[in-house]
Structure 1
Amino acid sequence: MLVTLLGTGTSSGVPLIGCTCEVCRSVDFRDKRLRSSVHIAVNGRSFVIDTGPDFRQQVLRLNLLQLDAVLFTHEHKDHTAGLDEIRAYNFRSGQDIPVYGRPTVLSQLQREFAYIFAENKYPGTPHVRLHEISNEPFTILDVPVIPIEVMHHKLPVFGYRIGDFTYLTDLNYISEEELEKVYGTKILVLDALQRQAHISHFTLDQAVALAQRINAARTYFVHISHKLGLHGEVERELPPNIRLGYDGLQIKLD
């Protein structure tokens, strides 16, 4: 399995017009973060989790030529707004793209991208097949996927475990029952928005505490806002097996 972090930022963590903060002025490429998303290549298949507003830029940068399915964590626009860009993969493959999400996510997509689901489709619009999922294991093209339900303030969000890789973004709470699904994972990608308390995201300290409980071989933090600070400075504070993620980081699992 090869995991690529397509984006590690949030809407308050991408470069801002006219911003002069130290993150925006940084010349370290690791401080240039697009909205959080991840690509997973496993068993000859190619999946992405979330298609945010930067999705087109992210897949062009990766030179991603194959897309077999999309999984959505939740319905917020910074995770769904790029769905239209999958049309390029329809053109390449001649196939509909399977899209997986909980009922609220799929309903939101049908409202916001109504033209994709219109009875009389305009030529060239994306073609998708919606697959409703619940908090039960499922498979995508013979690849097992375990959803992990977390809370983003009052909004239920799905993280996902595929093999020894677990992706948990946009959360500030996970139950003990759901945490049991995560234990034993080798690579964990986890939300760590900023240092200050937040209503719907883990702080850096909270993310470190949870990462230490899970004790994966390596944990990478994502969904990083400008308030967290410079990549190089923050990394020096972290335990040896915990790192900040950065856009384009590739992680290989046996």
Structure 2
Amino acid sequence: MKVTFLGTGTSQGIPVIGCECDVCTSLDFRDKRLRTSIHLEVDDTSIVVDTGPDFRAQMLRERITHLDAVLFTHEHKDHTAGLDDVRSFNFKQQYDMPVFGRKQVLEQLKQEFSYIFAAKKYPGVPRVNLNEIKNKPFEFNGVNIQPIDVLHYKLPVFGFRIKDFTYITDVNYISDDEKEKIKGSKALVLSALQKEDHISHFNLSEAIDLVNELKVPQAYFIHMSHRLGKHADIEKELPEHIDLAHDGLKIEL
């Protein structure tokens, strides 16, 4: 199983438009963060989790030429805005793209991309096959996927566990029952927005505490704001078994 971090930034990305802070003006490539998304290669299956506004650039940068499915964590624009660009895969692969999400996410996609679902479609629009998922395991192309139900303030968000890998973005609360699904993971990817408290995201210390509570041997933090600080500086503050992810980082399990 191979994991590629397509983007690791928060909804505005880094640098933020018009900002001249130390992070946004940093020359370290690890401080350049597109909107959060991930690519999974599980055996022969290629899956992307979330298609944010930077989806096209991410596919080109990583030279991803085949995509079997898209999983959506939730309906916020920084996680869905790039859906239109799956049409390149439609043309190349000659089939409708399977898309998985909870009911309210699929309904939001129908509103945001109404032209995709119109009765009379304009030639060349994306072709997608919507699949509703609930908080129970499902299988796609031989890959077993375990949703993990978390809260982003009051908005339900799905994390996903595949084999020994768990991915959770946009979260500030996980129930004890859902934490049980994470235990035993060899690697956990988790949102850590900034050092200060936030109404809908774990801050840095909360994310570290959760990793330690679950006793995950390796964790990577994502969905980071420019307010968190420079990559190089924060890395020095983290425990040995926790790292900040960065765009383009690849890990194998």
TM-score w.r.t. length of structure 1: 0.98
Which residue of 2 is the match for residue 119 of structure 1?
119
Alpha-carbon distance between aligned partners in 2 of 1:127 and 1:29, rounded to the nearest angstrom: 35
Give ranges in structure 2 of 5+ residues lacking alignment: none
SS of the residue corresponding to residue 24 of structure 1 reads coil
Give ranges in structure 1 of 5+ residues lacking alignment: none
Which residue of 2 is the match for residue 226 of structure 1?
226
Q: Deviations over 1:12-49 (max 9, x none)?
A: 44222332110111111000000000000012010000
Which residue of 1 is the match for residue 34 of structure 2?
34
SS of the residue corresponding to residue 122 of structure 2 reads coil
Map residues 93-108 of structure 1 onto 2, 5 A cutoff.
93-108=93-108
SS of the residue corresponding to residue 121 of structure 1 reads coil
- Matching residue's letter, 1:198: H
Superposed displacement of residue 206, structure 1: 0.1
Alpha-carbon distance between aligned partners in 2 of 1:163 and 1:119, rounded to the nearest angstrom: 39
Map residues 1-254 of structure 1 onto 2, 5 A cutoff.
1-253=1-253
Alpha-carbon distance between aligned partners in 1 of 2:149 and 2:53, rounded to the nearest angstrom: 24
Alpha-carbon distance between aligned partners in 1 of 2:86 and 2:17, rounded to the nearest angstrom: 27
Alpha-carbon distance between aligned partners in 2 of 1:88 and 1:245, rounded to the nearest angstrom: 28
Superposed displacement of residue 11, structure 1: 2.0
Alpha-carbon distance between aligned partners in 1 of 2:209 and 2:13, rounded to the nearest angstrom: 22
Alpha-carbon distance between aligned partners in 2 of 1:217 and 1:117, rounded to the nearest angstrom: 44
Please say which of residues 25-34 and 208-217 is displaced more in the overlay. Answer: 208-217
Alpha-carbon distance between aligned partners in 1 of 2:15 and 2:203, rounded to the nearest angstrom: 21
Q: CA RMSD of the aligned region, Å?
A: 0.7
SS of the residue corresponding to residue 22 of structure 1 reads coil
Superposed displacement of residue 60, structure 1: 0.5
SS of the residue corresponding to residue 38 of structure 1 reads strand
- Contact 1:12 1:226 (8 Å CA) reproduced: no
- Matching residue's letter, 1:59: M
- Contact 2:100 2:132 (8 Å CA) reproduced: yes
TM-score w.r.t. length of structure 2: 0.99
- Contact 2:15 2:25 (8 Å CA) reproduced: no
